[in-house]
Amino acid sequence: MALSFQIESHDGAARCGRLLTPHGEVLTPCFMPVGTRASVKGVTPEQLKAAGATILLANTYHLALRPGDEIIRDLGGLHQFMGWDGPILTDSGGFQVFSLADLRRITDEGVIFRSHIDGQLLELTPAKAVRIQENLGSDIAMCLDECPPADADTIKLRDAVRRTIVWASQCREAHRRADQALLAIVQGGLDLVLRQECAEQMIRMDFPGYALGGFSVGEKPEQMHAVLPQCAAFLPINKPRYLMGVGRPEDIIIAVMAGIDMFDCVLPTRNGRNASAFTRSGTLRLRNASHRRDPRPLEDDCPCYACRRFSRAYLHHLFQVDEMLGPTLLSIHNITYYLRLMAALRDAIQTQRLSSFRQDWFRDAVVSQDP
């Protein structure tokens, strides 16, 4: 059994648990920093550990194109390759095929697309998505899914759900590695009937965990918030639930209250590179001249390396003169911010204070702007 999950406490629908993987334990609800191309941009594995990261996400699509999954396999797998000895989750590549690549043809057998790197014509099938992830050797792999945009009509949405179920079955069939867990992805957009149908079909196949895909694809955050509690409730209570690619801190809080256990998002690193820092009192734009002489850290009580050692004035200077250290330090802070939020959420669940935590958070925070 590559993945075990124990729930240790509840607060409403929210739960605190432990995810045990071949590369160690992860406390849930958890946040996975994104190492798209086998590197969390600008941050070393050592700095990630120090920031409190316990599990990372890497992208199958990007790694299959460069350097290639067989090279990573031959070099001892993704953990060895990227110097990260903790758990890793890989996505299936489906999301990137549908968002980055030049799509050519989708059938029940798979999808043919042109690489966004060199225009090469490539095919991704359920079996191939599994084989690539087995080559990468992640602890948690994902089934290939079809992820339609938020404005897809019901016919398109229904077709994507049907195909995602067919593909999940084929992925399950192809999956071999005993030291890797394969999770299913539930699609269906904002249509709760479709979400439920999809969830039921996936549950019938008995996966060790279930993800909600097809959010953060263009819908309004409030639309997602509205359907999350029911979408989560369609999933087994004793298995980990993963909300893919979400999101802003406020989205994560709402999703945790709906019963979600796992999250990933590029916001902490992307915003960090763009000189934007998350803080409990709102977003700080470090390029703003108001920081020019400010001796304060980004956040007084933040234990991260950037806050312990450097002033807002210094970070402002780094971005003014385009020093690489600016993006690195802000990424470290933002990842720390997300991981501290997760720890605070776990603490609130354990002490049955999640509802008041949420109230305090939304009262105090200048809710961060939509990226």
Minimum CB separation of residue 119 from its own copies in Å reads: 17
For residues 269 and 275, what is the distance between their CA atoms, to the nearest angstrom? 10
Closest listed residue to residue 101, CA positions, set 91, 114, 92? 114
Task: Exactly one of 69, 91, 251, 261 is catalytic; name it.
Answer: 91
For residues 320 and 289, what is the distance between their CA atoms, to the nearest angstrom? 9
Q: What is the contact surface with its own copies in residues (CB under 8 A)? A: 37-39, 41-46, 62, 66-67, 71, 74-76, 81-83, 292-293, 295, 305, 309-311, 313-314, 316-318, 320-321, 323-325, 327-329
Nearer to its own copies, 106 or 325 (CB): 325
Burial class of residue 97 (count of CB atoms within 10 Å of its CB; 0-12, 13-18, 19+) = buried
User: What would the DSSP string read from start to end of 65-116?
Assistant: HTT-HHHHHHTT-HHHHHT--S-EEE--SHHHHHHTSEEEEEETTEEEEE-T
For residues 272 and 286, what is the distance between their CA atoms, to the nearest angstrom? 10
Nearer to its own copies, 220 or 296 (CB): 296
Nearer to its own copies, 62 or 358 (CB): 62
Nearer to its own copies, 316 or 340 (CB): 316
Tokens for 134? 């087995």
Minimum CB separation of residue 10 from its own copies in Å reads: 39
- Reply yes or no on whether 91 is catalytic: yes
Minimum CB separation of residue 69 from its own copies in Å reads: 12
- Reply yes or no on whether 347 is catalytic: no
Task: Exactly one of 69, 139, 145, 264 is catalytic; name it.
Answer: 264
Minimum CB separation of residue 82 from its own copies in Å reads: 7
**How far is residue 365 from each of residues 156, 247, 291, 335, 369, measured CA to CA in Å?**
38, 16, 20, 18, 11
Catalytic residues: 91, 264
